[in-house]
A = this chain, B = another copy of it.
Amino acid sequence: MRRDLITDAAIQLVAEQGMRGLTHRAVDRRAGLPEGSTSAYFRTRKALIEGFVERLADQEQRDITPDPDDVAGSIARTIDSWLVERNRTLARYAAMLEATHHPELKSIMVHSPREQATAIAKMLGHEDPERAGAHFTAFLEGLLFYRLVGAGSTVGPAPGTEESVRDLKAAVEKALRP
């Protein structure tokens, strides 16, 4: 599908060069398509951005389904997989920042994690699940950001390794404690 080819190329570009690298022609080149292709599918730049953010959201949807028997472990594995798929996650951050001055994007990027986190907090018997869930979400977000672009990116264990998952799991477990 041409459309997906284009949005995938856009995601790679954004990850590698930032939003500034996202131009119609750059996407054409990156996707190996003739000039004008991207412009034909997404006439305006805004449409192009929305296109690739939608694609990101689609792909992310599938990942979030924690195993109730091993909450911490499954979450740790999910986070680790996001570290491994570095480019997609970087593109997601770029999109979140973009959504700051481009609010339509917010509705595309569903923030379902929050309700899930509240549910988990409830399950584990927190007194104030709403707040505990929020803090938990914040912590996960931070863990990911810290390891992907923050100080932890140069210090922590390499993503995709057993050690990385173990480290993450320990952190998640601590955050889950009432």
Number of identical protomers: 2
Q: How far does the alpha carbon of A4 sit from the alpha carbon of B17 in the complex, in Å?
A: 27
Q: What does the 1/0 interface line of A77-95 toward B look like (CB < 8 Å)? A: 0000000000000100110
The verdict on A141 contacting B135 (CB below 8 Å), with A19-B20, A101-B16 known, is no
Is chain A's binding surface mostly helix, strand, loop or mixed?
helix
Assess whether A17 is in contact with B152, with CB atoms less than 8 Å apart: no
Number of interface residues of A (CB under 8 A): 42
B16 touches A151 (CB 8 A): no
- Judged by a CB distance under 8 angstroms, whether A59 is at the interface is no
State A131–B155 Cα separation when bound (angstroms): 10
For residue A129, give the distance in angstroms from its CB to the closest CB of chain B.
Answer: 14
Known: A138-B146, A156-B134. A90 touches B96 (CB 8 A): no
A32 at the interface (CB under 8 A from B): no
For chain A, residues 50 to 107, give those with C-beta under 8 angstroms from any C-beta of chain B. Answer: 90, 93-94, 96-101
Show 19 A/B contacts (Cβ-Cβ < 8 Å), sorted by A: A18-B19, A18-B100, A90-B97, A90-B100, A93-B97, A96-B150, A111-B150, A114-B151, A114-B155, A134-B155, A134-B156, A138-B139, A138-B147, A138-B171, A139-B142, A141-B142, A141-B146, A142-B142, A142-B145
**Shortest 10 CB-CB contacts between residues of A and residues of B:** A142-B142, A138-B146, A111-B151, A141-B142, A138-B142, A114-B151, A138-B143, A135-B171, A139-B139, A20-B20
